[in-house]
Amino acid sequence: MSATSPSSRPGDTGGHGRTAIQDPVVDKIVAHVERVGAHGVPAEVRSAAKSLIADTLAVGVAGRSTPWRGEILDMLARIGGAGEATVFGSGERLPLVHASMLNAYQIHGQEFDCVHDAAVVHPMAAVLPVLLGWAEREGGVSGALLLRAIVLAVDVAATLGLCSRAPMRFFRPANAGGFGATIGLAMLAGLDADRLRDAMGIYYGQCAGTMQAHSEGAPQLANANGICGPQSSSRGATCRDLAPPLEGISAISRCLTVRPIRCPLRISAHLGASLKSATNRFPVGARRMGASMLCSA
């Protein structure tokens, strides 16, 4: 992915005569995706990621006993569609969007999934079902690429949460988690810089997250909507005529909190910070991350 392609520079135009998104935060994320794609992640981050992936899968399998899980599975099965991805623990095959929704519900439904305390984000619930399902559907995705995409997705989701400095107006785990899923899928799909920008904009137009979701498990919606951005942009859909998704007048930086956040400055401080520790505490029944799986810049 090239973050410096001509059509992605401020003021230039992308395909079809459209003006490329001009958003300083999007630019930083695109550049970070390019760095991680080129250089990978440190060994200690890969080790921490594997531990959290295993933990999340175990929690997802245990989530078969989550209340209303059977009813949700029945609803999704009745909708129908091609069997593209596997439901954790019971083996049904559903369309990618539906399997991702149900698997995220199973991960988060009992509140034993990992959470980044400072960011107020449950990143793995939103990210892991989507990326695993995508890899299953597409085939040919290496373990190294999948791991890198998961780490990158968690990094972006946690960073967006860390940028906030005020009480939530919209449900941050859903908003930030969906952006993380979008970024991870973009890496798996091999999107270039312009298509990544489009994917983020398309996702933001659909992302879930009123505070009502705080009691309803919104990560299942966030990750499903996150699939639409990369799939749409990879097929040529654009959002270059729309407002910037992270720093525009209606952007997430204005919706996450009561007062606008200084997102460009704070994202520079947090994006790609090295992992220092990951703790396995259970103070309120949820496994918590002392620091997210963040990549070296």
Q: Which residue has the tokens 């720093």?
A: 247
Report the SS3 class of residue 266. Answer: helix
Q: Distance between CA atoms of 171 and 217, rounded to whole angstroms? A: 10
Kindly tell me if the per-residue pLDDT of 288 is higher than 80. no
Q: Which pLDDT belongs to residue 208?
A: 67
What lies within 8 Å, CB to CB, of 40 at 6+ separation is: 144, 148
**For residue 45, pLDDT beyond 50:** yes
Give the pLDDT confidence of 254-276 residue by residue, as tens digits: 555 544 444 444 555 556 653 33
Which of 89, 80, 82, 40 lies closest to 61 in space, CA to CA? 89
Find the helix or strand (DSSP H, E) in which 116 lies: strand 115-116
Distance (Å, whole) CA 274 – CA 295? 5
What does R_g of the chain's alpha carbons equal in angstroms?
Answer: 18
Across the range 100-127, mean pLDDT stands at: 88
Q: What is the β-pairing status of strands 85-86 and 93-94?
A: antiparallel
CA distances from 234 to 75, 107, 191, 194 (A): 29, 28, 7, 10
Q: What is the mean pLDDT of residues 20-37?
A: 82
pLDDT tens digits, 213-250: 666 554 445 667 778 777 877 777 776 545 455 555 44
pLDDT tens by residue, 196-218: 988 888 888 777 666 676 665 54
How many Cβ atoms sit within 10 Å of the Cβ of residue 83? Answer: 14
pTM: 0.78
pLDDT level of residue 109 (50, 70, 90 thresholds):
confident
Residue-wise pLDDT tens digits, 138-160: 999 999 999 999 999 999 988 88
Residue with token string 């060994």: 43
Spatial neighbors of 137 by CB under 8 A, at least 6 apart, are 84, 85, 96
| The pair of three-digit structure tokens given for residue 160, joined into one six-digit string | 């967006």
Average per-residue pLDDT in the chain? 75
CA gap 276, 296 in Å, rounded: 11
Handedness of CA 152, 190, 256, 115 (dihedral sign): negative
Q: Which of the pair, 152 or 297, is modelled with greater confidence?
A: 152
Q: Which domains are assigned to the chain?
A: 25-289 (1.10.4100.10)
Question: Sorting pLDDT into bands at 50, 70 and 90, what band is 161?
Answer: confident
Out of 98-107, 171-180, 200-209, the most confident range is 98-107
CB-CB contact of 176 with 207 (8 Å): no
As a whole number of angstroms, the distance between CA 138 and CA 213 comes to 31
Total residues found in the chain within this entry: 297
CA 122 to chain centre: 10
Q: Over the stretch 52-89, which tens digit does the pLDDT of each residue have?
A: 999 999 999 999 998 889 999 999 999 999 999 999 99
Indicate if the pLDDT at residue 35 is higher than 80: yes
Residue 91 has pLDDT above 50, yes or no: yes
Identify the residue with better confidence: 116 or 208.
116
> What pLDDT, in 10s, does the model give residues 182-191?
999 999 999 9
**For position 108, what pLDDT does the model report?**
87
